[in-house]
Structure formats: structure tokens, C-alpha cells
Structure 1
Amino acid sequence: MTLVTDFFEDVDPKKLGWCFNVYLIRLWEELDKINEEETNSIDMVIQDVKGIRVQKSIPKYLIKHWRDRLKE
């Protein structure tokens, strides 16, 4: 079975399901401005297999789900 992957340049709001093969280039945490011991978001730069890079963020309420799955 061949897995079809999508590319960032083909993103279309009409399609709901995507399958990206990406590299995590850079990863950093944004601290909360009021409580500096708490993470407000995780920001990252990711690159698809064609070399197109985008910056994305994981909001505070999803950090627990994604923190252990990301490897730079």
C-alpha cells in the first residue's frame, strides 16, 4: 500500500484530510507573560520534502498531547 503525501504548496481549504511528511527544523517554547514557569505555546519551523518551510504553533491546551511526540 502506497501512502500518498501532500505538500505545503498544495494546501487547499476545500480539502479536510491531509498527510504531510515533514522535518522539524527548529523548536522553541513561548513562556506565559504572567507566569514564566508555564508554557504558553510551542512554536516550530517545519519543512516538507520539497523544501518549503512554514512556522506553526501548538496552543497551550494541546501541549500535553504533542510535547513528547516532537523531536528536533
Structure 2
Amino acid sequence: MYAATLQDEPAQWYFFEIYQDDAAYQKHRQSEHFQYYLQQTANMLRDKKIINIDPLFLRNQGGLYFD
């Protein structure tokens, strides 16, 4: 999971989660801790959407490389 803000809108947060595949994502969605998270944060979200990507290369500032 990654969290980020825009420089000109520091109070607006964006959260990114990356899963190996749809099966891993669906397993996560069914987990007890995720269901609890949904209940606790429902009133904090303005918008939520899923964007499927097909990455050729993922890397973070720490130098971790995901193949």
C-alpha cells in the first residue's frame, strides 16, 4: 500500500494498493481485517475506484524492484 498527497492539496490523500493478481485482491477483500477497515473508514472516503494496470516495471524510492 502506498499513500500520497498532492503538493498543492496536502489535505487530500490518495492510497494505492498493488496485488499480484485478481485472486490475491479478492482474497484480501474477503479478509476479516479488511471488512473491519471498510466499516471504520466508510465516512472518510469521498471516492473509491479500481484501476487495473499491466506494469512493465515497478520501483519505489527505496530501490525495491518488483518483477
TM-score by length of structure 2 reads 0.27
Q: Which has the higher contact order (CA 8 A, sep 6+)?
A: 1
Task: Considering fraction of residues, name the structure with more strand.
Answer: 1
TM-score by length of structure 1 reads 0.26
